[in-house]
Structure 1
Amino acid sequence: MRMGEELAGLLRAWRARLQPSDVGLPQGRRRRVPGLRREEVADLAGLSVAQYVRLERGQYGRLTPGAAVRLARALRLDAEERLRLLALIRHAPPAHGTSGGTYPRLRPELATLVTAIDGAAATVLDPGLNVLAWNRAAHALLAGHLEPSVSTLRDRRRPPHNLAAQLFLDPETQRLYPQWDIEARRTVAFLHQSLAREPDDPGLAVLVDALTAGSRQFAALWRRPPHRYGSYGKVQIRHPLVGTLPLAFELVEFSDRSGNRLLLHHAEPSPPARAAFRTLADLSAFVDTQ
């Protein structure tokens, strides 16, 4: 199924489950089909009817950040559904001369390099903190309770792993961080900077809206004045398999203008920390992250 067709099917399903009273509209004359009419959704989202009809026909058009957020709100999407919309917008073909909300994807050579890194947990992230690639140690460290495979160019239907969504919406991930509030502030600062760099990116706008709707903690942090995020530092992870890991991290931006970054976690220089990290890496040796 093409991405436009998948988005079209979801839009129709989301529209069909809503009644006029759900969105403050009168019932009006008898309806031949359940749910809202296309023109009603378009009006609620601030889109032209023609633009919304194109989306429901599987024809991608340019969605501004505000339009993407308004569409999610008009359809009364919950946080998970907004992230699904984000995944589809993220892969939409860009409009001519614009970024269209997508970033240059990971170069195959970098994907190979990341999986070959030994002795550190290596993750490649796009500006929205979607995981583009990681090695086995990174998956085991950050998301061992989740499906390891990442969304690829050949299989874009699966929502990407998103570290921000995991941190604010997934209780299992939250339990990994004894100092969760510090990690939360780092993540919000990173997203503030990404949105400042790409203010016209609808995917980032939908992600922020989904997190705001799904997490009171995120909403409160996002309203505060933005801070600079640290590109290196220390973090503790309380892992269910090997206990508390004292780690150092580095976040390195690539020079290819993609906006993608390499996140490295490695054990602090103490024998117990290194032994625990090596145990975790050994336990993940047979997990396929491709």
Structure 2
Amino acid sequence: MTPRQIGRTSGGEDATPAPETAPSSEVRSRHELAAFLRARRARLTPEQVGLPARRRSRTPGLRREDVAERAGISTAWYTYLEQGREIQPSREAVERIARALCLSGPDHAYLLTLTGHTPPSPGADHGLDPRLLQSLVDHVTAPAYVTDALTRVLAWNPPAREIFGDYAAWPTERRNLLRLLFTEPRFASRLVARDEYATRVVHTFRDRSDAHLKDPAAIALIEELSRQSNRFRQAWESTDVRRAGTDTLVAHHPDGRLTFTMIMLQDLGPAGLRINAYLPADPATTRAMETAGKPPQIGRAGAAGGLE
């Protein structure tokens, strides 16, 4: 039976081999996939997956037929993957193989990448120590915060709290920039053009990744916000995208009208982290930020360090 025939009879593997004309980068990816699968299979013992122990085996770990049976695919088709053949497995088949090999989160994501599928956006476990992210923004004297690919706010500094609001006032599961901007009127209420800023966040979210097409968490977030906010739904349905490395932000403040120039560093690390910093654009804003987050001096009225 040929690879093409196996793909048609093994129930969803979606294997469609083509002539060996792929670019060298694709060939390298297939070879890396083959080596990865063999290595992960060798790490598992039959006992670890509930199979009876074998007395003797010339090779360590599970057999190919063990993995294929656990994944619900044909042994021959799985063998072609381990041989680096030109096969394009469906995402469903890849997910079954990942479960069969008991892959960890990072290994699972890497398998999806090797097979041409987009890994899901990371959740709370973004692979970086939260203390390091917090230390990073704490060393920035201007308002700064860190978000992941789903716009979850992971760290912020006192100046950001003073301009945008106290992120800690919302539970972790709601501490998402899109959710706060479109469902929490108190958040970022000091911004002069808050609605415009919120729309820009929607458009940059669409541009910065394709998570909204494939990641179940992103799809669920978009559906939720579309139900809860007409403004979000209109901004999302516009299909506009925005890629801006710098921008201007104006905010009301007890010290007067403050103007910032935004800079961003995005797609940092495995979680698509994005660092947003708002640099003072004039001397008055610089002076106001020098005391941001500090206790007000006696006799100084209105120098609140957050939003009510």
With the shorter chain as reference, the TM-score category is: 0.5 to 0.7
Superposed, which structure 2 residues align to 1:106-145 within 5 Å? 106-108=128-130, 110-144=132-166
1:117 positional shift: 1.2
Q: 1:251 aligns to what?
A: 264
2:121/2:271 contact within 8 Å kept: no
| Of 162, 165, 173, the match for 1:159 | 173
Unmatched 5+ stretches in structure 1: 1-63, 65-92, 152-157
C-alpha RMSD over aligned residues: 3.2
Question: For the residues of structure 2 that align with 1:140 and 1:247, how far apart are their CA atoms?
Answer: 13
1:95 positional shift: 9.5
CA separation of 1:255/1:96 partners in 2, compared to 1, >3 Å: closer, same or farther? closer
Matched, 1:102 2:122: yes
Question: For the residues of structure 2 that align with 1:184 and 1:120, how far apart are their CA atoms?
Answer: 20
2:138/2:156 contact within 8 Å kept: no
Q: 2:284 aligns to what?
A: 272
CA separation of 1:231/1:126 partners in 2, compared to 1, >3 Å: closer, same or farther? same
Q: 2:205 aligns to what?
A: 191
CA separation of 1:242/1:209 partners in 2, compared to 1, >3 Å: closer, same or farther? farther
1:273 positional shift: 1.5
Structure 1 length-normalised TM = 0.55
Unmatched 5+ stretches in structure 2: 1-91, 93-103, 110-118, 297-304
SS at the partner of 1:172? coil
Cα deviation code 1:128-160 (max 9, x no counterpart): 11111112222222123x536x87xxxxxx425
| Of 246, 251, 263, the match for 1:237 | 251
1:279 positional shift: 3.0
Cα deviation code 1:228-280 (max 9, x no counterpart): 231211111224x4442211111102543431111111211x22121122232
Question: For the residues of structure 2 that align with 1:279 and 1:233, how far apart are their CA atoms?
Answer: 23
CA separation of 1:256/1:283 partners in 2, compared to 1, >3 Å: closer, same or farther? same
Of structures 1 and 2, the larger Rg is shown by 2
Aligned residue pairs total 186
Question: For the residues of structure 1 that align with 2:224 and 2:212, how far apart are their CA atoms?
Answer: 18
